[in-house]
Structure 1
Amino acid sequence: MLHHRFPSWLRFGTVAACVSAPICLTATQAPAEGLAPILQRPADASVLKRMPASRDLMTFRGENSSAAWPVFLNRNEAAQITTLQLGLLNTVSALPEGSVLKVAINGRPLSSLPIKSPDRMTPVAVKIPTGVLVPGFNAVQVDVTMTHRVDCSVKATFELWTSLDPAQTGFVLPRQMQAAGKSLDDLAGEPLAAEGTTRIHVRLAGDPDPVLLSRAGDLVGALAARAHLLRPVVDVGPEPGNGPGFDIVMDGSDAAADRRVGQEAGLTLERDPASNRLTVVANATDETGFSATIEALRRSSDRPAEGSAQGLQALATQSAGVAVDDRSISFADLGIHSVTFTGRHLTRTLGVTLPRDFYPSNYGMARLYIDGARAEGLAPSSALVFRVNGALVSSLPLGAGSPDHFDHALLNLPLKFFRPGYNAIEIEGTTPTASDEQCTVSSASTQPRLTIADTSELVMPHLARMQTAPQIAAMLENDREQDGDRDIYLTSGDPAAAGVGLTLVANMATQDGAGRIRFNLDQPVASDKPGIVIGASASLPEMLARPLRSEFKRADVTDDSTVGEPAGSLGRGKTQVSTPLEALHATAMGGSAWLRRNGFFFSGLEDNHVILPVHDDSLLLADVTTQDDSRRIAGIELPRFSDRQDRWLVVTGSSTDAIASANAALIANNHWRDLAGEAVAYDPKADGLKRVEPTQLSYVIPRTVALTDVQPILGGIVSSNILLSVSVLMVLLCLLGLSTHTLLNILGKRSR
């Protein structure tokens, strides 16, 4: 018998799911033959308060998946909204009798809906009882369970999907109610774009001015941090914005008294009566007044966000994962609720954020303590598999002979597989049984096969602190204690590039708080202070384009040369071996590759640097240096130590318009937190993000070093530089042998 620990809300009752339609079905009741659908017509998209998610983030794959979105409601909305609408579409492979979608808001179960809309998007409404919604952030939790029609294999579970249409999913606002925020506290409640982003339009007349653009960067960052905006995307132009989102005006002389709805911190809030679009106007016209406004916003941004406990948890999970540093945290606090699974293939992901100066190496283990149970009769191959950032690190057998119950079953996750910033700990369970081979409705088991309780815990050990480079995640952080401004260089002063720069600033602020920004519209040169460079690949200075050619190559390049490419182009063909020395090096690298393929690993010999293919629509990011600080002794690479002052973050693509479009897609699909490693290529058409992990690390000299960090840091440096360690050991052995030989000679002479 399977015993399990999970909250009672997982057992959904019958709750009505209807709107003002002629026929209203209960939430657990499937429509009889010939009956009308649950909703006769969808709500007007203009009166829907959308979820902060794109279509990709609202697609549920596999037999069992879930998602939670934080939605900000002002006080009037929280008091008057009574309906949540879902636009439902699913694969034809899903069995209607065994597939269900469950909805909960702020932890309260509301509805259990049949999944039976394979031919068209079907709008379904869920009634919200009074008192469920609160002012601030509310969590909308959706859990999907699906069963395949004809195939009971684990492979068939990858064919199952259910999608919610962002345009037809959201809270239904009363028609007389429109966005009516009157303060900065309500800024997160402004309407979202169709892809779930917060669109911000900065009104700047004429060509971007570096001083005015720097002020706009400070204001955008401060507002994003103050309002806890999710996925902000910024564009620049002289005309007023349109559609969902809000405007920012840098010149207070444009303020209109008849449109004013609020005023605070040196800012005036206006609302256009025709479009109902909000405008935030900076009243200050001189540097002193503007600095006072930014300082007031930064002080107020330190206040915690408002909302339900579940809503604030969803906010943390959606933005960057839950911060974990030298402590234990339960699955419930990580946003993973207890799950009782009846299928064959379960997937869950824990998102955790580690400090940006976290030093990953083999000095310790993160520990997972799993609570739960398994059913009898699982196939011998059944197991729970655990991955960290895609790397398989541990497993827990579930077949015959394994425990029926897990009471804090321990699994170790080596710290070397973690990285600074966001980390994904993936849990994958396979639970096939002998009855799956029959694959009939009568043989399909409805009994739980696996339970994972939300009392399971992740325990992090002491984390050594020393920043390494290259590391994109560290370059995209705002250090509020740093001296001076964060420099952003635009290689072309067009509005598209300025919008990309402001978008980066806004998203950095939502993660780390607002920092000081300085925009530069001149081509960066070697003597400039390193920072972020944004521009088309052909416009990049050669000092930055040169190191980038080792990271990227065009996907359609098949020839052996780059003749005719622009000086800053990232195109790269195959390299020719032209000298005996290069031929010898190629032979050595081929030999080391053969050793690695056959199980031998020598980090000092490896040259497995992946070159990322790029397309005309790709967005490229790379952490590069313009200086060659490599040092060798007798051909052996020495560890690199630096103060990080020579590193640049390059954001590029085929054109500034392509960069802006791909950057908006990357943010909409929540890939901002996945930016890590040495270089990244993002293909917006395939929503594919590929990265290159650093192969040669530089160690950033810390300001202070704790004694507890010395041993793990030294051990990590030694393990990452095998050839150097072996060479030092050989030298020490030679010295020991020489000294022993000398000592024996001396003692031998004395004895005579």
Structure 2
Amino acid sequence: MLPPVRAALCGLVFSLSASVAFAQDTSVPFDMSGERDPAVEKTPAVEETTPAVRETRQPEKKAATPDLSTRRYIVPAKSLLLEGEVASQSFPLFLTPQQAGSATTINLGYSNAVVVAPESSRLTVVVNDVVVGEVPVQSAEGIKDVRFDLPAGLLRPGVNRVTFNAAHRHRTDCTIRSTYDLWTSLDPARTYLTVPRDTSGRLLTTDDIAAIGLGPTGQTKFVMVVPEMGQPVATNALMRLSQGLALMAKMPNQTFDLTDALPPTAGAGELTVLVGTAGNLAALLPGLPATARSSAVATFVDAPDGDRKVFVVSGPDWPSIEGAVEGMVSPIDRPLSVTREALSVRQRNGADMPLILGETSPTFASLGVRTGEFSGRRYRTGFDIGIPSDFYADAYGEATLLLDAAYSPEVLPGSHIDIYVNGNIATTVPITSRNGGVFRHLPIRVTMRHFRPGPNRIDIETALLTEADKICAPGSSASEEPRFALFDSSEFRMPRFARVAQLPSLAALSGTGFPYNRQVDPVALYLDRLDADTLSTSATFLGKMAVSSGRALQVRPESSALAIGERNAILVGTISQLPPLVLGQTHIAAESASAWGGPADGGAQHGATQDAIDEWQSRVRGGSWRGQISALEAWLQETFDIPLSSLRLLPGEEPLVAPGDTARFLVAQGDSPDEGATWTVLSAPTGADLKAGMVAVAQDERWQQLDGYVSLDSKDADALDTRPVSRTRFVATQPWTFSNMRLVAANWLSSNILAYAVVFCILSILLGIATSGLLRRFGREV
């Protein structure tokens, strides 16, 4: 009955509630720990928050185009994910003296999972072993940009090491399963070193080619401008130069793009290279050195726009250009007489990878693993090793990890240590005792079936169970009390293993460049046509081969594929232009020359026919002997991990491969007609597919997937389709010794169980006959 009084009371209540609401700090995320770390409130970083939601609410404005030429990108990938409770990634950054002296800040853009507790999670940036900044992980709503100032004199000319460390804790969960939901994602396009424009792109000498850097997505591209690319006399110089540039840069995702016109600009991670005679380059480059008309030159000059440098290789004629290229490549080329001790993978973690050639026991410290203590639930660390191309111990060999570690008394039985090799679990060691313990050279055996020629990754993961995690009291996930420690005195012991090469093997090709990396004579190179697509594909492939081999290969262009004969060869071209002999030797179906990349109706009809065949096979499988064999094969594989191929006395022929409609590019390897050499084929339906497919395969992640005798790249698949080898040709790479042949025989018999059983039965019969004859000789009846 008192409206004015009621209205006044309602207004008072509304004012109090509004005051309480606006008094809350909306910038602080939801906190389950009960007590906030005061260190979070103060950070040396300058933060510029750009959440995705906020950006969409702002009115549309024309954004200013950033000056990408001032950015030296750090992450050589399209994305970088730091997963788990602790994670670390290191990358090298090559700088010229001018860049090292002028760079002042490092920027990174990151986002994280919503379940990450910001009050107990940290993201740390380390440059050359010096911590330059640390921030709480609190960007679940979008990407946050953070900028750190670099101390004066921290950067140095040459290789610098940048490390990103992430420590995560879950908001509400304390289980091991919950640790897989923790992640921080770094955006490579927003993670870079800022360099003043006047020094960022100024390359002065050939040593500065290593400072070409990366693009926003981790790419490195050499744009080679060659007005005379169609002339056969230019091919050898171009292929040799591409290998030399690849060895100088050693970037993981580098590609080559050949063109006959000078591009108007060059983006980050791109270098323009002009190659040709002085008469042909004068029209494109007014600043061409005058000495190029009389002698060979290889130097940096100003581009016509004046804002960048371009690299020029020129001379009065092509023989002089070849001399200039050889003068560049020879100082960095590795002679065959020099044995490699490491695989050069500086682009991955800032350090070379040791190449293990036999029995050895390197410590974790020498492999880059440092002593570390851990207070969480799942700890993961690892190291990289290199395996030679003639590694042959995948069926019987075992390596051993001698682990020096300790765990606290709160760790419960049921915890375990898992060892992974190239992403595949190799062994598990349970922790069965209570009250803590210290391991001193605990032997953990690792089967070598997952090792492959080239780079190999070994990860050690520890899953820890405790009573406190079962209770999961508020704030317990942020405890800093160590539960587990791994010491760098641990060792990785590799036994002596058999060494004999196997062909075909695309894994050995991508890992170490075998068999082309060991030959003295030039490799035969056949290109179906001398156009931009084919030359770009060949230059990119040979560049990747040079980095894998650790040396620049000598090539000899051939005008006819049939003239190659019994020589190691690389053949590049569209599928319709390759001779049937080449397709047959590399196990590519002959009908692919006309069917691959044809009309969609034909592919659909082929798919329908295959579906009908599969349906009929399923109908009659139960009563046919082939169906019973298939069931037996599946049972042996699932129960004993024994493939049916190991139960054959003689290996079968490789099935012919007919690429499907989704495939756009293939790499195939086979023997020459007399099985005296190796042919490798790169092919696609069209020239555009050939170039695009090679660019995709040149990415380091896919390059390491090459395996078997044929690998297919598809437009819509994240992984290569590889076909395993069933019939191999052995190639001796080491001097003949009884010990090596014994190991070769042991691995071969382990791979061919039926042959082993037959040999065992024959030897048993011979032993019985010999014993019977010996007893009769002594006058005893058997």
TM-score (ref. length: structure 2): 0.77
1:322 aligns with 2:347: no
Matched residue, 2:416: 383
Higher deviation after alignment, 470-479 or 383-392: 470-479
1:687 aligns with 2:724: no
Equivalent residue in structure 2 for 1:296, among 327, 342, 353: 327
SS of the counterpart of 1:168?
A: strand
Deviation of 1:707 after TM superposition, in Å, equals: 4.2
SS of the counterpart of 2:46?
A: coil
Residues 552, 672 of structure 1: alpha-carbon distance in 2 compared, 3 angstrom cutoff: farther
| Superposition pairs of residues 144-293 of structure 1, within 5 angstroms | 144-205=166-227, 208-241=230-263, 242-244=265-267, 245-253=270-278, 254=281, 256=285, 258=287, 266-272=297-303, 274=305, 276-286=307-317, 288-293=319-324
Contact 1:259 1:272 survives alignment (8 Å)? no
Letter in 1 for 2:356: V
Contact 2:236 2:557 survives alignment (8 Å)? yes
Matched residue, 1:138: 160
Contact 2:667 2:710 survives alignment (8 Å)? yes
Deviation of 1:717 after TM superposition, in Å, equals: 2.1
Residues 452, 674 of structure 1: alpha-carbon distance in 2 compared, 3 angstrom cutoff: farther
Equivalent residue in structure 2 for 1:592, among 633, 639, 645: 633
Deviation of 1:96 after TM superposition, in Å, equals: 1.6
Deviations 1:304-345 (A, max 9, x none): 9xxxxxxx9854746984323333333343333343333323
Question: For 2:173 and 2:315, how far apart are their aligned partners in 1?
Answer: 66
Matched residue, 2:68: 45
1:393 aligns with 2:451: no
Question: For 1:142 and 1:550, how far apart are their aligned partners in 2?
Answer: 45
Letter in 2 for 1:251: G
Matched residue, 2:460: 427
Letter in 2 for 1:592: E
Question: For 1:449 and 1:238, how far apart are their aligned partners in 2?
Answer: 62
Deviation of 1:69 after TM superposition, in Å, equals: 0.8
Matched residue, 1:469: 503
Equivalent residue in structure 2 for 1:605, among 647, 650, 653: 647
Residues 410, 743 of structure 1: alpha-carbon distance in 2 compared, 3 angstrom cutoff: closer
Contact 1:374 1:398 survives alignment (8 Å)? no
Deviation of 1:246 after TM superposition, in Å, equals: 1.4
Deviations 1:522-557 (A, max 9, x none): 556884744233344555544455577789999xx9
Contact 1:55 1:163 survives alignment (8 Å)? no
Deviation of 1:647 after TM superposition, in Å, equals: 3.0
Question: For 1:650 and 1:99, how far apart are their aligned partners in 2?
Answer: 50
SS of the counterpart of 1:724?
A: helix
Larger-gyration structure (1/2): 2
Question: For 2:81 and 2:133, how far apart are their aligned partners in 1?
Answer: 19
Matched residue, 1:74: 96
1:16 aligns with 2:50: no
Residues 379, 489 of structure 1: alpha-carbon distance in 2 compared, 3 angstrom cutoff: farther
Contact 1:617 1:658 survives alignment (8 Å)? no
Deviation of 1:140 after TM superposition, in Å, equals: 0.4
Letter in 2 for 1:134: R
Matched residue, 1:731: 762
Question: For 1:653 and 1:695, how far apart are their aligned partners in 2?
Answer: 24
Matched residue, 2:662: 616
Matched residue, 2:553: 515
Matched residue, 1:35: none
Residues 262, 62 of structure 1: alpha-carbon distance in 2 compared, 3 angstrom cutoff: farther
Matched residue, 2:702: 671
Letter in 2 for 1:429: T
Contact 1:226 1:300 survives alignment (8 Å)? no
Residues 178, 154 of structure 1: alpha-carbon distance in 2 compared, 3 angstrom cutoff: same
SS of the counterpart of 1:194?
A: coil
Matched residue, 2:31: none
Contact 1:366 1:415 survives alignment (8 Å)? yes
In terms of fraction of residues, the more helix-rich structure is 2
Question: For 1:553 and 1:590, how far apart are their aligned partners in 2?
Answer: 32
Deviation of 1:171 after TM superposition, in Å, equals: 0.7
Residues 150, 365 of structure 1: alpha-carbon distance in 2 compared, 3 angstrom cutoff: same
Deviation of 1:142 after TM superposition, in Å, equals: 0.5
Letter in 2 for 1:187: I
Deviation of 1:144 after TM superposition, in Å, equals: 1.2
Letter in 2 for 1:515: L
Deviations 1:416-442 (A, max 9, x none): 432221212122222233333444532
Question: For 1:16 and 1:262, how far apart are their aligned partners in 2?
Answer: 53
- Supply the RMSD in Å over aligned alpha carbons: 4.4
Matched residue, 2:524: 487
Matched residue, 1:453: 487
Higher deviation after alignment, 723-732 or 519-528: 519-528
Matched residue, 1:647: 678
Matched residue, 1:105: 127
Question: For 2:364 and 2:665, how far apart are their aligned partners in 1?
Answer: 34
Residues 645, 127 of structure 1: alpha-carbon distance in 2 compared, 3 angstrom cutoff: farther
What are the ranges of 5 or more consecutive residues in structure 1 without an aligned counterpart? 1-10, 24-39, 305-311, 630-643
Number of aligned residue pairs: 690
Question: For 2:186 and 2:415, how far apart are their aligned partners in 1?
Answer: 31
Question: For 1:388 and 1:553, how far apart are their aligned partners in 2?
Answer: 39
Letter in 2 for 1:705: W
TM-score (ref. length: structure 1): 0.80
Matched residue, 1:373: 406
Matched residue, 1:352: 385
Equivalent residue in structure 1 for 2:729, among 684, 687, 698: 698
Residues 316, 45 of structure 1: alpha-carbon distance in 2 compared, 3 angstrom cutoff: closer
Question: For 2:775 and 2:402, how far apart are their aligned partners in 1?
Answer: 56
Letter in 1 for 2:467: A
Equivalent residue in structure 1 for 2:539, among 502, 523, 529: 502
Deviation of 1:514 after TM superposition, in Å, equals: 0.7
What is the percent sequence identity of the aligned residues? 25
SS of the counterpart of 2:647?
A: coil
